[in-house]
């Protein structure tokens, strides 16, 4: 209330000026705006009357050009629909589809059929594109036992087998969503008892006999020993944390990435413009960019796909883990959970007190990665 009172006098001061403005700009063109735009400068574009004079001819020119381009566009449409190539006709439809969240059920079905036709044609087998919605009463959650992880990277490759990532040999053609981080073990040491006392300052900050290995997310991604786990290492897999408050969603300029009702943060690849803002925003380095046209051999392609999940992507879009939406929407475990040989990965419904993840949250010591950023991940690390 106080704020309103404070603002009102100021507003009234400016009111006459505003009215004047409106009178100048709008009164003459109340009825004729549609027919003769040249008489009606809706926006005071330029103070120079000569510019306004020019504008009329420019407008006509633009309109003519627009007509021409529209007709040529129609020509392209005629070209594409006439060809017997299903691929071309489908892509035409794809160009003009809406953001997935704004589509009606019919439009989603059309998009699904279009994609199924195109993928089946492209990969030489029957490809299904699922559009199953989030089910009520479901909030997916993930837990990972970092004491158990042995760093074998089977989850990484299970993910690639499931989710149709690019897997070419050249740089930038191989995309993996899960990263396994090898970290050195920290330890207390006698000879470091007096560390942590900065010289010259004279301020005692305490002893630091502990070697702080693994406090930051710096480690080795490219480790490749004969056998894992190694005695002096711990392993920490990271992927998309499916945050409750995802920074990537906040920054997306076209709102193509968003959080689904049952938890996962997904991407409508068709609407992605490839600006990579989300990749910069993500504090977990979870997002990958298709720099090249994805290399996906026909025989390795997984034909069971979801629209928001593992359907084959195109060049220039961002992708990331979505907790195997094509599986989890049908109650199946994600691929990485099923393949983990030590059973470190757990998945379940956070709203179901009987689920594995709920039991872990209830019983084990749990932490979230970079919890101080208030992203509220639904991916929990725990240990026995």
Partner 1 sequence: MRKLASLSVILALCGGAFYAVSAAEKAAEPAKEAAAAKTPLECFESRKGASELTQRDVQPGWPNVKCSPTTGAALWYGDPYDGTVPMGKMPGLDIAEGKAVVKPRTEKLALMPMCGVSCHNGVGPAFNPPKLPKDKKPAPVPTMEAMVPDLANFQHGRGRIWCMDCHHTTQRNMLVDHFGDPVSFDQPQLLCGKCHGDKLRDWRDGIHGKRIGEFVSTGKKRWFTCTECHNPHNVQDGARNKGFIQVQPEPSPQLPRGMANADHEKLHPIPH
Site for partner 1 in 262-301 (CB under 8 A): 297-301
- Cβ neighbourhood burial of 274 (10 Å; 0-12, 13-18, 19+): middle
Task: Tell whether residue 172 is a contact of partner 1 (CB under 8 A).
Answer: yes
Looking at the Cβ atoms of 8 and 315, the one nearer to partner 1 is 315
Looking at the Cβ atoms of 75 and 207, the one nearer to partner 1 is 75
Q: Are 333 and 147 in contact (CB under 8 A)?
A: no
**Cβ at position 12, least distance to partner 1 in Å:** 50
List Cα–Cα distances, 70 to 89, 121, 123, 373, in angstroms: 18, 30, 34, 49
Exactly one of 158, 239, 249, 278 binds partner 1 (CB under 8 A); which one?
158
Looking at the Cβ atoms of 256 and 349, the one nearer to partner 1 is 349
Pick the piece of the chain touching partner 1 (CB under 8 A) from 40-48, 101-109, 307-315, 360-368: 360-368
Looking at the Cβ atoms of 11 and 74, the one nearer to partner 1 is 74
- Cβ neighbourhood burial of 128 (10 Å; 0-12, 13-18, 19+): middle
Q: What angle do CA 142, 147, 152 make, to 5 degrees?
A: 80
Binding pattern for the stretch 109-148 against partner 1, x by CB under 8 A and - elsewhere: ----------------xx---------------------x
How many residues can be counted in the chain?
384
Task: Tell whether residue 16 is a contact of partner 1 (CB under 8 A).
Answer: no
Looking at the Cβ atoms of 52 and 355, the one nearer to partner 1 is 355
- How would DSSP label each residue in 312-326? PP-TT-EE---S-HH
Task: Tell whether residue 346 is a contact of partner 1 (CB under 8 A).
Answer: yes
User: What secondary structure letter does DSSP report for 174?
Assistant: B
Exactly one of 218, 255, 280, 285 binds partner 1 (CB under 8 A); which one?
218
């Amino acid at each position: 209330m106080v704020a309103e009172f404070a603002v009102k006098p100021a507003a009234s001061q400016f009111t006459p000026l505003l009215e004047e403005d409106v009178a100048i700009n709008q009164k003459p063109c109340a009825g004729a705006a549609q027919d003769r735009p040249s008489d009606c400068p809706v926006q005071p574009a330029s103070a120079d009357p000569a510019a306004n004079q020019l504008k009329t001819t420019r407008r006509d020119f633009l309109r003519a050009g627009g007509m021409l381009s529209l007709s040529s566009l129609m020509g392209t449409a005629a070209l594409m629909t006439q060809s017997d190539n299903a691929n071309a006709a489908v892509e035409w439809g794809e160009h003009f589809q809406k953001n997935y969240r704004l589509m009606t059920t019919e439009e989603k079905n059309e998009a699904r059929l279009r994609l199924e036709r195109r993928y089946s044609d492209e990969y030489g087998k029957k490809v299904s594109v699922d559009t199953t919605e989030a089910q009520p009463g479901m909030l997916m959650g993930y837990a990972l036992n970092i004491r158990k992880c042995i760093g074998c990277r089977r989850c990484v490759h299970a993910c690639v087998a499931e989710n149709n990532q690019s897997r070419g040999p050249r740089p930038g053609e191989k995309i993996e969503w899960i990263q396994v981080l090898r970290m050195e073990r920290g330890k207390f040491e006698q000879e470091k008892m007096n560390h942590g006392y900065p010289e010259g300052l004279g301020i005692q900050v305490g002893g630091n006999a502990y070697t702080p290995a693994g406090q930051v997310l710096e480690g080795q991604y490219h480790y490749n020993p004969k056998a894992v786990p190694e005695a002096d290492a711990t392993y920490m897999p990271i992927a998309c944390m499916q945050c409750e408050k995802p920074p990537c969603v906040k920054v997306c300029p076209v709102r193509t990435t968003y959080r689904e009702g049952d938890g996962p943060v997904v991407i409508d690849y068709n609407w992605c413009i490839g600006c990579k803002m989300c990749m910069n925003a993500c504090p977990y380095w979870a997002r990958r960019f298709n720099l090249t046209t994805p290399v996906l051999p026909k025989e390795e392609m997984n034909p069971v796909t979801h629209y928001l999940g593992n359907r084959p992507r195109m060049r220039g879009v961002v992708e990331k883990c979505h907790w195997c939406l094509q599986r989890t929407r049908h109650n199946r475990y994600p691929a990485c959970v099923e393949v983990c040989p030590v059973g470190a990965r757990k998945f379940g419904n956070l709203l179901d007190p009987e689920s594995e993840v709920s039991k872990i949250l209830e019983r084990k010591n749990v932490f979230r990665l970079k919890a101080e950023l208030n992203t509220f991940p639904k991916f929990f690390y725990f240990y026995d």
